[in-house]
Structures are given as structure tokens and as C-alpha cells.
Structure 1
Amino acid sequence: MKRFTETELAKELRQQYIKNPPEGMTSDEVLDMSDDDLLDMDYFLHEFDELDDDDFGEEGFYIF
């Protein structure tokens, strides 16, 4: 697995999100974002991607 610096990762993510911006954003907004903001956005967009099917947050009714 290739290691990336934050700058390299931000550059690749910026190109990805310019081509296909997240819902509610435009390509120009992505272009104007700082590297830190772009990395934060990507983290929060994919924060729960690796959760198992048994993890909390599944659709349904919960009683606590």
C-alpha cells in the first residue's frame, strides 16, 4: 500500500470531488476549500463506511 502525505491525499481528493462533488456542494466550493477542510469533509463522509452489519446505527427501533 502506497503512503501518501496529507498534501498528496488532499490533491487527489480535490480532483475526485471536483469531478463528483458531494450533495449540496459545487465543484467551485470544493476548489476553494483548504486542504484541512477537504480532508475533514472526506473523513466525515466516510466515517461509518467500515462498520459491521451488527453495529449500532442500523435502521430500526431502539429502546434504551
Structure 2
Amino acid sequence: MEYITEAELAKKLREQYIKEPPENVTSDEVREMSDEDLLDMDYFLHEFDDFDDDDFDEEGFYLF
């Protein structure tokens, strides 16, 4: 496993999101974000990626 610093991760994410910005965000906004804001945005974009979608396909499953 390769370890990278938050600054290195933010740099990689910034390059990725400038090329393909998330919905409702422009490339210019990504350029102007602080490293912390960029890492937060990435976290929230992928917050539920670890959940298996099959767990939520059952009829009667609701979030309140």
C-alpha cells in the first residue's frame, strides 16, 4: 500500500476534478477550493461507495 500526504492527494483530486468536475461544480470552482474543501467534497461524493447496493433493494426499506 502506498502512503501519500493530504497535500499530494488534494493535488491528484484537483487535477481529476478539473478535467471532469462533479455535477453542479465548475472547473474554476475546483481550482479555487482549498485542499481541505476539496478533500471534504471528495469524501462526501464517495461517502456511501462502500455499501453494497443489494442491501437497499429490499421492498419496505426506508430512511426516516
Normalising by structure 1, report the TM-score. 0.84
Query: Normalising to structure 2: TM-score of the pair?
Result: 0.84
Q: Distance in 2 between matches of 1:24 and 1:2?
A: 32
Q: Which runs of 5+ in 2 are unaligned?
A: none
In the alignment, the residues of structure 2 paired with residue 61 and residue 28 of structure 1 have an alpha-carbon distance, to the nearest angstrom, of: 42
Deviation readout 1:4-61 (Å, 9 max, x if unpaired):
100000000000000000001110000000000000000000000010221xxx3554
Q: 2:39 — aligned with what?
A: 39
Q: How many residues are aligned here?
A: 61
Percent of paired sites with the same residue: 67
Amino acid at match of 1:28: D
